[in-house]
Homo-oligomer: A and B are copies of this chain.
Amino acid sequence: MARFDAFRRVAERIVDLSSDYRLRDAQDYPRWYARPHPRPELLSEFVYGIPELHRDEIRDARYVAAAGCNATATVLALAPLFRRGLAGRVVVEVKAGSSEGGNTVSPASHHPERSGAVRSYRPTGHRHLAEIVQELGSTDIHFSATSIEMVRGILATCHVFLLESLTEKDLWKLYREHYAVEPFVRIVKERTGIYRYPEPKILSGSNYCDIGFERDPQTERVVVMSAIDNLMKGAAGQAVQCFNLMHDIPETTALDFPGLHPI
């Protein structure tokens, strides 16, 4: 944040990958980040950087705050339901890889400790929840993150209690319509095979967000799963996507890597 003024003197447009400008309401910073925001006047100059939600604003934006990785996966999974007022209580369980912790060495990232871990990283109070609440407009969303054996990748498993009864067919229709023209969102839902639902491992290096869902026939719960590469659609890839929009370049430029299989 200290260098923002220096950057904006030389850069016409900026995509900020930190969490410094993601929240619109300055009051959210003390609550979620345990410190007041030092430059609250800047918050309104930023657009929140998920193109699927704010494409037009991003096109016109001078400053974009690229979304958090967990928030991106969660918001894309849930937006179709919340936009139609269909979602009640939601519990989100994110499984995340070690690259989410950044490249700073720590005892927690030491390979003999981190290898094979299933570490309850943030059962409550995860900061990305602030972004999720802001974008989806509900406070009945509950979020936990667990670090697992993986370097890149996020799987968000979102348990949604529906306010209206929806069939699987309804859900298909809803998600297909919502993401019909999106270049980086795919609905992944198969009845057989190994890859029936979104799988982060085959997205390593790609900018896709894969979304699937399964309707619990016995309750009003639907489980929506979304997978991304946290370093691509969850960070640098999404930043490039925003950059492309801001500069009127085709949105998928430099983001055409489809991922590897097997991996």
Contact = CB atoms under 8 A, between A and B. Distances in A.
A60 interface: no
A123 B204 contact: no
Copies in the complex: 4
A217 B216 CA distance: 30
Interface stretch (A35-43, A79-87, A99-107): A99-107
Given A152-B263, A205-B205, A263-B204, A98 B118 contact: no
Size bracket of the A interface? 35 or more
Contacts of A107: 105, 194
Given A118-B148, A118-B155, A120-B198, A112 B98 contact: yes
Most buried by B among A105, A108, A152, A231: A105
Given A93-B93, A148-B148, A151-B112, A216 B142 contact: yes
A228 to B, nearest CB: 11
A132 to B, nearest CB: 13
Interface stretch (A49-57, A218-226, A238-246): A218-226
B124 A115 contact: no
Contacts of A199: 117-119
A155 B225 contact: no
A159 interface: yes
A152 B259 CA distance: 14
A19 interface: no
Nearest to A260: B205
A172 interface: no
B217 A124 contact: yes
6 closest Cβ contacts across the A-B interface?
Answer: A124-B216, A123-B223, A112-B262, A111-B114, A149-B149, A120-B197
